[in-house]
Structures are given as C-alpha cells and as structure tokens.
Chain A
Amino acid sequence: MLCSLIRKMCTTSTTSLLQDTSSLQKTTSTYFNKAINNMTASPILSTISPPSSPAMSIESDFEDHDETTTTQPRKIKVMIIDDNSVNLTILSRLLNKHFADTIQLTSVQNSGLAALDQLTKDEVDLILMDIDMPVLSGVETTTAIRNNDSHSEHSILEQNLNVPIIAVTTSDAEEQRELYRQVGMADCVSKPIAIPKLRMAIEEAMKTVSTNG
C-alpha cells in the first residue's frame, strides 16, 4: 500500500522500490524510492519518515512508534489488585519495566471492593488479581464481576463483565487453580512472579478475548 502511495507521488510509475530490512523489528520495513534523488526530498521523506505518518504507520512497527497512529494496536489497559503494598509496588514496576510496549497500567487497587468500584467507572482489558485478600477475596471479587455485583448502587461497565482475569498468588495448588477456572479466571501465575510465565499468561488471556470477539 505504501508502495502504491509512493508510486503515485513519483513522476515515473516504473520507479523501483528498495526495501530496507535493517530496522529493529523483523516485521518493520522502510521503503525508499530509488528515484528519490530525482525528486525533492522533503515531500517523500515527509510522507515516509515521521513515525506519525499514515504511510509509515501502515507498514511499520518501530519501537518508538507514535501510539496515536490508527494502525498501531492500542496498549492493553490493565488493573492490578493486591492488599499487600509490597506486592503491588513490585507488580506495578514489573509491568512498567517489562511490558511497557504492550501494557498500560491504568488502575492499582488494594482491595476487591475498591476494584469493583473502579470497574463501574472505567473500562479495562485485563485484571491481575491477588487471591487472599480481606473482606473480598480474589475468588469472590471475580464472581462479583462475572455476576455484575459491584457491591454498590452502580453497575459494573458491561465491557468489564467478561474481562480476562489472571490470578497472581502463592495459593497455586492444582485444586485452587481449578477453583479459579470455575469462577471464571483465565489463568493463575505463581508468586514470586516469573516474567516469562506472566507474559505467556497475558498473551493466552488476550488471545481468548480476540477469539471470542
């Protein structure tokens, strides 16, 4: 598509296009018009070089790509829930350090009740939830979400009712994992968190979302 755009801008339609594959991402390609030396540079470069360029955004997947381009998938909006401040701090930092390219940490909650309240107001794409919490456990909070029971006068946003929920817990025995599945959790990641396992769990959970539409 980019090539077509460039060809339209070129004075000769037979201009050959070279693909520069030396960029950072394997899927990223930058196409340069071989006849560029015969044309004014800035019109072409202004089309293909800036990260926010529509032509670039269609093909490119640079690390520093502008998020606002229409073709760049938006980041996954994540809520994390844990009654232990140390765990919350670690998980927040971990997501910001290792998942910054795909995840936007939008909500940090220290209780199931606070999470339910927030879910009546803001849409999230993924929840990482501790299990053993006072007042409302992770299992009870998940059940409340699935049953649209916000424990308040407001309803949980419809978009949040089936949000993927991943348990993040030390309570990870098989029978407990089965319980998490039964109440509607997508997966369980053990504490202390191993980044590859968290990444895999998130990817699987988000696949389920895209599969279900």
Chain B
Amino acid sequence: MTATSPTQAPSTAETVINNIKGTEEPEVADKGAETETETDADEFEDNGIIDHTTFDQLLEMDDEEDHEFSRSLVWNYFEQAEKTFVDMDDAMEKLDFPDLSRLGHFLKGSSAALGLTKVKESCEKLQHYGNRKDAAGVESITNDEAETLIRALLVQMRREYNEAESYLKVFYDGQE
C-alpha cells in the first residue's frame, strides 16, 4: 500500500497504545514502522474491538488448545481484508461507488463472523455510503458527500482493522 493510499493509517502499535492512554494519535504514519508492543490482549477489551460472545464461539470450535482452526481462519481473514482494502483503494480512485458498497458488504460479513465489531460497523457504513445513503442507510446523499464520507471512513476503517489485527496477533501469540 502506498504512502498516498487513502486507507493509510498510523502505526498499529502506536495507535493502540495511544488510544489506551487517551493521547492524540498521529495523522499519518508509515505502517511499516510497527514496533513491538507488550500490551496485553486484555487491555483491548474495553475498546470494543472484539465481540467476545462471537469470538469465544469461534474458539470453542477449536479442537486443541493450540487453537489451530481459529488461528488459520483469522489469518485467512487477514489476507482477505488486506486484499479487500487494496480493492477499496482501486474503487475509490475510480469513484466506483457500487463496487465500494459491494466490498464493504463483503468484508462486513467475515468481520462480523469473527466478532470484529468496529470493523464490521465501518464496513456497513461503507456499504451504505456506496449506495449513496447515509450511515443508517436511510437518507440519500450526493456523490460529493459520499466521496467525502468514504475517504474519511476508509482511513478510520483501516485504523480499526489494525487495532483488531494487533489484538488478535497478541492473543494468538499468547497461546503459543
């Protein structure tokens, strides 16, 4: 993902730590400059990143204590999400609103299935904005309004995804 990508987001670890501390996060940062964080996965719970009812149901489907099934599923989700973000960037450059809506819906499904609440909610907004509707999917909005809202939303969604990704990686690292 390029530095000018609309879905570029601050460093994952820095953002998460700053959110927990309540400090302002940097507007632009290189995603590649991630640093090791010792933040425990439990510290993320109050941020509403994960719906534990859904995620725990997923963990219950694991056979062994190594959580191999859910781990492989989550990593599959990571790949899917990264590809979808690239597709969203492409669709945004073309202002292809129907495609943005479709992509939002697509990622919403798997995000919801894993209990990634914030990502799912942002995906739902993207679905609506792409259909030239407001966040609730009720009132119509103009193309210009949709474009403005989607550009901001893609940055937000990327940030929320990075938080979720960090949480899950910390969780599974702790299971080893």
Contact = CB atoms under 8 A, between A and B. Distances in A.
Interface stretch (A46-54, A81-89, A151-159, A201-209): A81-89
Contacts of A93: 61, 69
A130 B108 CA distance: 13
A134 B61 CA distance: 29
B88 to A, nearest CB: 15
- Most chain A beta-carbon neighbours within 10 Å: one of B61, B105, B110: B110
A84 B80 CA distance: 9
Contacts of A89: 73, 76
A134 B102 contact: yes
Contacts, number: 55
Interface stretch (B10-18, B111-119, B146-154): B111-119
B29 interface: no
Given A85-B80, A90-B58, A191 B102 contact: no
A90 B113 contact: yes
Interface in A146-205: 169-171, 191-193, 195
A59 interface: no
Interface of B: 51, 54, 57-58, 60-61, 69, 73, 76-77, 80, 102, 105-106, 108-110, 112-115, 124
18 contacts: A85-B80, A86-B73, A86-B80, A86-B109, A86-B110, A86-B113, A87-B113, A89-B76, A93-B69, A97-B61, A130-B109, A132-B102, A132-B105, A132-B106, A134-B102, A169-B109, A192-B114, A192-B115
